[in-house]
Amino acid sequence: MTLFIEQCLNGLQFGLLLFLLAAGLTLVFGIMDLVNLAHGSLYMLGAYFAATFAAWTGSFVFAAVLALAATLVVGMAVEIIAMRRLYGRDHLDHVLATFGLILFFDELVRLIWGPSGMSLPLPSWLNTSVRVLPGIDYSAYKLSIIIVSLAVAVFLYFLVMRTRIGMLIRAGASNREMVGALGVNIKLLFTLVFGLGAALAGLAGLMQAPILTVQIGMGENILILAFVITVIGGIGSIRGAFVAAILVGLIDTLGRAYFTDLLRLAFTKETAATAAPALSSMLIYLLMAIVLVIKPEGLFSASGK
Amino acid sequence: MRRTFLIASAAAAVFAAMPALAQQKTVKIGFISTFSGPVAAMGNDMRNSFELALDHMGRKMGGLPVEVIYEDDTFKPEVGKQKTEKLIESDKVDFLTGYIWSNVLLASVKPALDSKTFLISANAGPHQLAGEGCSPYFFSTSWQNDQTPQAMGLYMNQKGVKTVFLIGPNYAAGKDMLAGVAATFKGKVIGQELTKWPDQLDFSAELAKAKDAKPDAIFVFYPGAAGAQFLNQYSQSGLKGQIPLYTAFTIDELTLPRQKDTALGVPGAQQWVNDLPNETNKKFVSDYRKKHPGLSPTFYGAQSYDAANLIASAVAATKGNLSDKAAVQKAMEKADFKSVRGNFKYGNNHFPIQNFYLQEAVKDQEGNYALKTVATIVENDQDRFHDKCPMK
Amino acid sequence: MSGWLSPRNIVTVTLLLALVLLPVYVELTGSRFLLTLFTRIIILAMAAVSLNLILGYGGMMSFGHAAYLGIGGYAVGMLAFEGVSSGFVQWPVALLVSALFALLIGALSLRTRGVYFIMITLAFAQMTYYIVAGLARYGGDDGLTIQDRSKFFAPVNLSNKMQFYYICLTLLFASIYLVWRIVNSRFGMVIQGARSNDTRMRAIGFPTYRYKLTCFVIAGTLCGLAGALLANHTDFVSPAMMYWTRSGDLIIMVVLGGMGSIFGPLFGAVALLILEEVLSGITEYWQIILGPLLLLVVLFGRGGIDGLLGKVRHG
């Protein structure tokens, strides 16, 4: 039983990390109608910035804050230089242009930081375990990821639901032209939204860095999951992204853990070990396909209510 | 008139064919390893060591200048295969070497063997190439994958371990490693987990399962960056001190600086440790440290150093006549060179018959970490697949 | 319509001639590597041609087309592993399985539009990738080596590089001809009409869904054939053949070459793969050039290479 709870916590943590990534994507998608494949590159930059600043300053928290700021700046720069020219164009154009950006960023990182990747060591005060429940010792760092991500989720909720900017964001998601016609500085709004998305991606990147990886191309693998979550949750809906992300995180983690055991009943260990991660990944895509067929706008669609 | 013409054209034809029969001008070697991504450090270690070996021999083999072309397999089997083909067809290399990963090697070996290009693996040792898939053109200067974990299995028997839980990555080498332990370990394997490779760097689920199963010990194989991750998570999960860990290829001179204290007290098995007392090894390690300050060579590098010397011995023995493949093969089979691990012989399948040592990480007063030889686990060990190889 | 000596025609004919004569050049100079490189270019060009049918002419942005390369390839690989090395069995199976997958994926995906269509085709391609990566028997992520190429009747020997090259080239020309015939038929008119205005076509009375699905299946089958060729070319298949970034590469070829033009995908494949070879020889960091280049092509180079060569656009 304790194993199950621990797996659930792992799934929750993974899901929340995905939420941070997907939230930015769905905002940009919903408001600017922009398909941004390079979102994963911002995730990667967040991790690289954090690793670099941590090496310079020696403080994890300080490095995290600096990295967030840096990613925000890069995000806004990218919006002004490249994204602006893509608004209103075909989605295929977005896909191609941002695919090109992925290639560019991957190489840029390789040029600046070298091909080996970096490491971001855990601060010692987080490198312990916490007794979450009797008999369950959970990594303090992972717990802090859960806490921070939930805090960000709450912050986003308040931002979108209770502030004026949030109202503009919601309005822009339903009807862009109208918002522009009402005299709102749409250009500034777009830049800020894109920047916010970039910061969220960067946060996800730097938080997973101590436990997973900081390497070139790390964005490509997780980007697909982020897109799937965006589609399942409904484009433009942060609430949808949250629900979908937790769902996907749990399915992926629990699937990998329990499919192996399930398959072992019928097949060899090797077959089970090879098939299990594949099955749990497939399950996620199957979920998306089912959602698209039944509810093509996603679970919590933002537009056209 | 016509006869003169015929003789002249025959002579011309012979002269035109001459280049094919002429002696080698240089020795061309293709070196495939991973030079990008988080495991680039391993590829660099191999390259540095190979270059050092060439420096030590004056960059000449059997009197011929040496040209090495390094290619990056980017950690992917299909890329390694492509690069291997390019080296064979476009660069027309005489020898291929390198190959960290067993899956990359298995994908790349066919074009090499089909074209009769000698391939010397300086790391990967999948069992397929030791058994039925052995070839006159394939040699190893490392080991067969199962050998090292087999040695660990023997050591665990010596320590009285009764039950073990195995964890490793789900690819060719990972499976070989876990099978190797199971082959010699006399106790019971009460659990086995294969993780997704190379993506999965979060081992919390597997560690949780291991904890649940309450084994006497855990055996683990995670090369490169994954090794650093595993040890960190092993200690984070609270298992350090509760359930002892036994490893193969998980702690080396590259990962030790990152693993730090988490590596102390964790034994590993190896056919080479940096402090082996022979002259060649002492020179290799000290010259490496001089040339690359702040770095120490790993077993990857040691194996690459040996690969350079193996090739050199063959070139010298055949006096540079590399088109006589049978002669090159015979020369290589003699393993007539000074290896940094101490001299060894080749088995019929061109895998070394060698000793395996127990290595442990220690910390000195200044807080520096180093790996030391603690004991010899087994001497003149031969892999268990050599019977299946049809070569004599 | 421009005259016979238009830049586009000159370039096209020159390229075709060069491709036909390449093996002769290789024989004379002994640069076998060129033959290997161009065989690969031709096979991927064939995949691009099939993608162009649905993307360029049909307006269906499929981000999962590389899946068929993998399906065709693995059909050959798996059969070879099980001891069935006859091309007469392998290739029809590759075609059939590709067609079935395309039918299933198309039937479900074509119910959606725009970015959802992109995502769902992507999802299906990833699912195929994971199915294959999950098969321990066939190597999983490590891939599967193919010991012998597909066997046909006596004089045909796919291991003979020059023969294999000409077989692939013939099949490429046949695919281009097939696409040309389809596009210029009534069927093709409906497809292109549906691309610009689907509602109008349906209003006129055409069951566009059925037309699109047929088109999708044809494209998938053709790509499956390319996959079978690729497996023979590399003597190796791995799930990486169908990872989503490979589909991206195919899309780049089609767009770079000029969407909705007959020879566009061929131009695109040649340009992209040669650029890769040349640039990677110059600098390790060549992708830093490719990235912005793509961006520029999207922003300014409407119509790709084909568009540059002639102002007349199809469709």
Q: Using the beta-carbon criterion (under 8 Å), do C134 and A275 form an inter-chain contact?
A: yes
Least confident among A90-94, B22-26, C287-291: B22-26
B9 touches chain A (CB under 8 A): no
Model confidence at A71: pLDDT above 50: yes
CB B339 within 8 A of CB B248: no
CA distance A10 to A12: 5
Largest pairwise CA distance in chain A: 65
H helices of chain A, where? 2-32, 39-57, 60-81, 91-113, 140-162, 164-174, 176-181, 186-208, 218-233, 238-264, 269-294
CA distance B9 to B152: 67
Model confidence at B17: pLDDT above 70: no
Closest CA to C53 of C305, C259, C228, C313: C259
* Among A213, A260, A273, beta carbon nearest to B201: A213
Which carries the bigger pLDDT value, residue B56 or residue C293? B56
Q: Give the best residue of A10, A130, A216, A270 to mutate against chain B (max B CB count within 10 A).
A: A270
Q: Using the beta-carbon criterion (under 8 Å), do A270 and B170 form an inter-chain contact?
A: yes
Which carries the bigger pLDDT value, residue B22 or residue B285? B285
Q: Using the beta-carbon criterion (under 8 Å), do A270 and B228 form an inter-chain contact?
A: no
Sorted by sequence, the CB contacts under 8 Å of residue B290 that are 6+ apart come out as none
Sorted by sequence, the CB contacts under 8 Å of residue C196 that are 6+ apart come out as C59, C315
C145 touches chain B (CB under 8 A): yes
So what's the pLDDT on residue B10? 47
CA distance B371 to B224: 16
Tokens 């799934």 correspond to A11
Model confidence at A117: pLDDT above 80: no
3-class DSSP state for residue B96? strand
So what's the pLDDT on residue B3? 53
For residue B174, what is the nearest residue in chain C, using CA coordinates?
C142
C107 touches chain A (CB under 8 A): no
Model confidence at A78: pLDDT above 90: yes
Residues 234-253 of B with CB under 8 A from A: 236-238
**What DSSP string runs through A80-128?**
HHTGGGGTTS-HHHHHHHHHHHHHHHHHHHHHHH-TT-B--PPPGGGSS
Which carries the bigger pLDDT value, residue B38 or residue B253? B253
Host H or E run for residue B89: helix B77-89
Model confidence at B270: pLDDT above 80: yes
C282 touches chain A (CB under 8 A): no
Host H or E run for residue B359: strand B352-363
Model confidence at B129: pLDDT above 80: yes
* Among A117, A257, A270, beta carbon nearest to B194: A270
Chain segment C88-138, per-residue pLDDT in tens: 999 999 999 999 999 999 998 888 877 788 888 888 888 899 889 888 888
Strand partners, C151: C86
Q: What is the average pLDDT across C1-18?
A: 81
Sorted by sequence, the CB contacts under 8 Å of residue C152 that are 6+ apart come out as C86, C87, C88, C158
> Between helices C244-257 and C264-282, what is the axis angle to 10°?
110
Least confident among B305-319, C37-51, C150-164: C150-164
Q: Give the best residue of A83, A104, A280 to mutate against chain C (max C CB count within 10 A).
A: A104
Model confidence at C227: pLDDT above 90: yes
- Find the angle CA(B275)-CA(B277)-CA(B280) to the nearest 5 degrees: 95
Looking at beta carbons, which residues of chain B come within 8 Å of A277?
A: 196, 200
- In total, chain C counts a number of residues equal to 315
B36 touches chain C (CB under 8 A): no
Residue B330: CB atoms within 10 Å: 14
Q: What is the average pLDDT across C19-35?
A: 88
For residue C147, what is the nearest residue in chain B, using CA coordinates?
B110
Q: Using the beta-carbon criterion (under 8 Å), do A139 and B237 form an inter-chain contact?
A: yes
Average pLDDT of the residues of chain C = 87
CB A286 within 8 A of CB C127: yes
B110 touches chain C (CB under 8 A): yes
Average pLDDT of the residues of chain B = 88
Q: Using the beta-carbon criterion (under 8 Å), do B81 and C234 form an inter-chain contact?
A: yes
Confidence of residue C206 (pLDDT cuts 50, 70, 90): confident
3-class DSSP state for residue B345? strand
Q: Using the beta-carbon criterion (under 8 Å), do C33 and B197 form an inter-chain contact?
A: no
Model confidence at C230: pLDDT above 80: yes
B204 touches chain A (CB under 8 A): yes
CA distance C271 to C285: 18
* Among B82, B89, B110, beta carbon nearest to C145: B110
Classify each residue of C240-250 as buried b or exposed e, where b means 16 or more C-beta atoms within 10 Å of its C-beta: bbbbbebbbbb
C112 touches chain A (CB under 8 A): yes
Q: What are phi and psi of A268, to 5 degrees?
A: -70, 165
Q: Using the beta-carbon criterion (under 8 Å), do C287 and A107 form an inter-chain contact?
A: yes
Q: Give the best residue of A106, A116, A122, A252 to mutate against chain B (max B CB count within 10 A).
A: A116
So what's the pLDDT on residue C284? 67
Closest CA to A241 of A55, A12, A15: A15
Q: Using the beta-carbon criterion (under 8 Å), do C141 and B103 form an inter-chain contact?
A: yes
Looking at beta carbons, which residues of chain B come within 8 Å of A282?
A: none
Looking at beta carbons, which residues of chain A come within 8 Å of C290?
A: 100, 103
Q: What is the nearest CA distance from B148 to chain C, expressed in angstroms?
A: 22
Model confidence at A72: pLDDT above 60: yes
Tokens 């500034």 correspond to A188
Eight-state DSSP code of residue A148: H
Taking CA atoms, A78 is separated from A82, A90, C251, in Å, by 6, 19, 23
So what's the pLDDT on residue C3? 63
Chain segment A262-288, per-residue pLDDT in tens: 888 888 877 887 787 788 888 888 888
Looking at beta carbons, which residues of chain B come within 8 Å of A273?
A: 170, 193-195
CB B370 within 8 A of CB B144: no
Sorted by sequence, the CB contacts under 8 Å of residue B294 that are 6+ apart come out as none
B207 touches chain C (CB under 8 A): no
Model confidence at C68: pLDDT above 70: yes
Q: What is the average pLDDT across A287-293?
A: 83
Strand partners, B95: B29, B118
Q: Using the beta-carbon criterion (under 8 Å), do B107 and C238 form an inter-chain contact?
A: yes
3-class DSSP state for residue B24? coil
So what's the pLDDT on residue A304? 38
Closest CA to B233 of A140, A147, A250, A280: A140
Q: What is the nearest CA distance from C313 to chain A, expressed in angstroms?
A: 18
Question: Chains A, C: CB contacts under 8 A, how many?
Answer: 125
CB C83 within 8 A of CB A263: no
Chain segment B349-386, per-residue pLDDT in tens: 999 999 999 999 999 888 888 899 999 999 999 999 99
Check whether the bond before A121 is cis (ω within 30° of 0).
no
Model confidence at A305: pLDDT above 50: no
CA distance B362 to B373: 10
Closest CA to A47 of A208, A177, A157: A208
CA distance B118 to B109: 10
Q: Using the beta-carbon criterion (under 8 Å), do A107 and C291 form an inter-chain contact?
A: yes
Which carries the bigger pLDDT value, residue B344 or residue B24? B344
Q: Using the beta-carbon criterion (under 8 Å), do A289 and C287 form an inter-chain contact?
A: no
Q: Using the beta-carbon criterion (under 8 Å), do C240 and B78 form an inter-chain contact?
A: yes
**pTM, to two decimals:** 0.83
Instruction: Kindly state the percentage of chain A with pLDDT values over 70.
Output: 98
Chain segment B156-177, per-residue pLDDT in tens: 999 999 999 999 998 888 989 9
Confidence of residue C315 (pLDDT cuts 50, 70, 90): very low
CA distance C309 to C6: 8
Q: Using the beta-carbon criterion (under 8 Å), do A288 and C120 form an inter-chain contact?
A: yes
Tokens 């999207």 correspond to C298
So what's the pLDDT on residue B2? 54
* Among A276, A286, A292, beta carbon nearest to C127: A286
Residue A69: CB atoms within 10 Å: 14
Residues 27-66 of B with CB under 8 A from A: 35-38, 40-41
CB C51 within 8 A of CB C268: no
Q: Give the best residue of A142, A207, A213 to mutate against chain B (max B CB count within 10 A).
A: A213
Residue A56: CB atoms within 10 Å: 11
- The single-letter code of the amino acid at B317 is A
CA distance C249 to C222: 17
Joined together, the tokens standing for residue C244 give 């989503």
CB B193 within 8 A of CB B166: yes
B83 touches chain C (CB under 8 A): no
Residue B166: CB atoms within 10 Å: 27
* Among A3, A119, A211, beta carbon nearest to B208: A3
So what's the pLDDT on residue C311? 57
Taking CA atoms, C257 is separated from A39, B330, C34, C271, in Å, by 27, 53, 21, 8
CA-based end-to-end distance of chain C: 14
Strand partners, B219: B166, B246
Q: Using the beta-carbon criterion (under 8 Å), do C61 and A92 form an inter-chain contact?
A: yes
* Among A96, A231, A288, beta carbon nearest to C294: A96
Eight-state DSSP code of residue B26: S
CA distance A148 to A16: 9
B63 Ramachandran zone, left/alpha/beta (phi>0; psi -120 to 50)? left
* Among B90, B107, B172, beta carbon nearest to C236: B107
Model confidence at C280: pLDDT above 80: no
- The single-letter code of the amino acid at A290 is I
So what's the pLDDT on residue B28? 95
* Among C123, C136, C299, beta carbon nearest to A271: C136
Chain segment A124-181, per-residue pLDDT in tens: 788 777 787 777 778 788 889 999 999 999 998 888 888 888 888 777 767 777 777 8
Model confidence at C78: pLDDT above 50: yes
Largest pairwise CA distance in chain B: 96
* Among B38, B202, B238, beta carbon nearest to A137: B238
CB A249 within 8 A of CB A22: no
3-class DSSP state for residue B60? strand
Looking at beta carbons, which residues of chain C come within 8 Å of A270?
A: 136
Closest CA to A302 of A174, A175, A121: A174
Largest pairwise CA distance in chain C: 60
For residue B42, what is the nearest residue in chain A, using CA coordinates?
A116
Q: Using the beta-carbon criterion (under 8 Å), do C143 and B78 form an inter-chain contact?
A: yes
Burial of residue B21 (number of CB atoms within 10 Å: 0-12, 13-18, 19+):
exposed
Q: Using the beta-carbon criterion (under 8 Å), do C115 and A274 form an inter-chain contact?
A: no
CB B83 within 8 A of CB B71: yes
Closest CA to A36 of A302, A226, A297: A226
